[in-house]
Amino acid sequence: MALSGIQIYKFLPKTNCKKCGFPTCLAFAMKLASREVELSLCPDISEEGKAALETASRPPIRLVTIGSDSKKVEVGNEVVMFRHEKTFFHQPGLVLRISDTEPQEVVTSRVSEVAAYSVERVGLQLSLDGFAIQNKSKEAASFVSCIETVRAKTDLPLVLISDDPGAMGAGLDKTAKSKPLIYAATSDNWDKMAELSKQYQCPLAVYEPQGLTELAGLVEQVNKAGVEDIVLDPGARGFVDSLSLFTQLRRLALRKSFSLLGYPLISFPGEGAETLAEEATLCAQHIAKYSGIIVLDHFSPAMAYPLLTLRLNIYTDPQKPMRLEAGIYPINEPKADSPLMVSTNFSLTYFSISGEVESSRWPCWLVICDTEGLSVLTAWSAGKFDAERIAKAVKQFAADKVSHQRLIIPGRVSVLRGELEEELPGWEIMVGPPEAMGIGPYLKQRWAG
C-alpha cells in the first residue's frame, strides 16, 4: 500500500539538512509520496527507515532495460495514467518480428531495410528500435541461424520468441551479451525460462492469458525464482480487450500499488488485426495506452512514419516546449543578399518554416529569437516576441551575415511592424505570410519583385 507524505516523514531523519535538494524533510516526503523523487536522494536515512520506505520509493512500474549499453530500449517507470497529469517518460520500443522460417536472404533484406530506416522530425532522428526473432520452425538450429543472420546486419536490441527452453538457451548462447528480452515464461515452462533469465541476466516476459489473477500468480513464482526484470503479456490481442486489460494493469500498478503487476507490457498488434491498416491503428492504440514493447509484423515507411511521429508527440514532456537555440540559421546556402526572416524558437515553428523554404529552393537566413519555446502568437501575447527582442536578435545574429536591411516578420505579428521600424532605423520591415506554406509564393512575389 502506498504511504502518505506524513507517514513517510516519520521515517526520515527530520534534520532539514537540505542535502536532498528540498528545504525540509516534509517537502521531500511529499515528493516521495507522489513518486517524483527517489529515496536515495536522502543520504542520511537509517537502514530501518530505508527498509520501511522501500515500497514507497519503488517505482510503481519497474524500469526494464532491453539491450546493452550501446543500443538499448528502456521501458516502464511510468507514474501517471494520463500524459497531461505529468508526462510519460519511456517511449515504447517498436520492433519488427522476423521468423526463423523465412529464407536467409529475405531476413537479411528486411533487417537491412528496417535498421537503415530513419526519418527526421523537429530535428530528431526517428527509427524503429529492434527486432523480435520468432522460433516458428520449432528447431533450435534454425533459431540460432536466424539470430546470427540478424546479428550480422544490426546490433539493435532483440526479443527472442520461443516456448522451448532448449531453443531459447541455444539462442541466448549466441546473443546474451546484448541482453535480449526472453519471450516468454508460461505456466508450463516458467521455471526453466526463469533459470535462463538468471543465467544470462536477461529480462523475461511472462505470458498468461487466463486472467490477471493467474498472471499475478505466475509473476510471483518467477519473482520467487529470483527474476526481477519482467515484462507482462496478459494475452490481449484485439482493440477492445487490449485497451481494457492494459488500462486495468496500469491502474492496478499506479493506483493500487499492486507490485506483482507493476511491470511494462508487451503487445503484438499484428495478431489482433486482419489488415495492415488495422495493425497500424492497433499499434497506435498501444503507443497511447500503455505498451512498453510493441512487436510489429509488417514494416513500410508509410506505416512507420506516422507511428513514430505519434510516439514522439505522446512521449514529449508537455511542460517543456521543444525548442531550438537562438541564432541565425542558413537554409539553402544563402548569400549576403538573401532574404532575412525572423521567428520564434518553438521547434515545430522552425521546422515548418525551414521545410517550406527548403522546398521553395530560395536561399534564406532565418533569425531565431529565444521565446522560451513558445510559438509566434503565444510568444507575442506573452510579451516574449516583441520588437525589442526581435531587433536585439537581428543585430546580434544577422549583422555580419547580410548586406541589406530588409527583414521579413511573421504575418501573424504584423502589428510589430511600426515598433520594429523604430527599433531598427533604416530597415525595411516586411510583413510575411500568416502561414509557413505561403513563404515560397511570398518570396517570389515580394522579395524578387
Residue 29 or 156 with smaller CB distance to ligand SF4: 29
Residue 134 CB partners (closer than 8 Å, separation 6+): 97, 98, 99, 100, 161, 162
Residue 277 CB partners (closer than 8 Å, separation 6+): none
Residue 40 or 247 with smaller CB distance to ligand SF4: 40
| Rounded least distance, CB 30 to ligand SF4, Å | 11
**Which amino acid, residue 271?**
E
Nearest to 65 by CA among 77, 82, 80: 77
| Rounded least distance, CB 42 to ligand SF4, Å | 3
**Which amino acid, residue 262?**
G
Residue 38 or 220 with smaller CB distance to ligand SF4: 38
| Rounded least distance, CB 45 to ligand SF4, Å | 6
| Rounded least distance, CB 29 to ligand SF4, Å | 7
Residue 58 or 71 with smaller CB distance to ligand SF4: 58
| Rounded least distance, CB 35 to ligand SF4, Å | 15
Residue 39 or 331 with smaller CB distance to ligand SF4: 39
Whole-angstrom Cα distance, residue 357 to residue 365?
10
**Which amino acid, residue 257?**
S
Residue 244 CB partners (closer than 8 Å, separation 6+): 236
Residue 35 or 110 with smaller CB distance to ligand SF4: 35
Residue 50 or 298 with smaller CB distance to ligand SF4: 50
Cis peptide before 290 (omega within 30 of 0): yes
| Rounded least distance, CB 1 to ligand SF4, Å | 22
| Rounded least distance, CB 33 to ligand SF4, Å | 13
Residue 358, Cβ neighbours under 10 Å: how many? 13
The dihedral formed by the CA atoms of 119, 125, 128 and 130, expressed in degrees to the nearest 10 = 140
Residue 56 or 64 with smaller CB distance to ligand SF4: 56
* Interacting residues with ligand SF4 (CB under 6 A): 12-13, 15-20, 22, 25, 28, 42, 44
| Rounded least distance, CB 19 to ligand SF4, Å | 4
Residue 12 or 398 with smaller CB distance to ligand SF4: 12
Q: Which three cell numbers stand for residue 180?
A: 535480449
Whole-angstrom Cα distance, residue 91 to residue 279?
19
Whole-angstrom Cα distance, residue 343 to residue 406?
15
Residue 53 or 219 with smaller CB distance to ligand SF4: 53
| Rounded least distance, CB 6 to ligand SF4, Å | 14
Whole-angstrom Cα distance, residue 208 to residue 232?
8
Q: Which three cell numbers stand for residue 117?
A: 530506416
For 401, the 3-state DSSP assignment is coil
**Which amino acid, residue 163?**
D
Whole-angstrom Cα distance, residue 335 to residue 406?
14
Packing angle of the helix pair 212-224, 190-200 (nearest 10 deg): 50
- Diameter of the chain measured on Cα atoms: 82
Whole-angstrom Cα distance, residue 448 to residue 99?
58
| Rounded least distance, CB 24 to ligand SF4, Å | 6
**First-to-last C-alpha distance (Å) of the chain:** 72
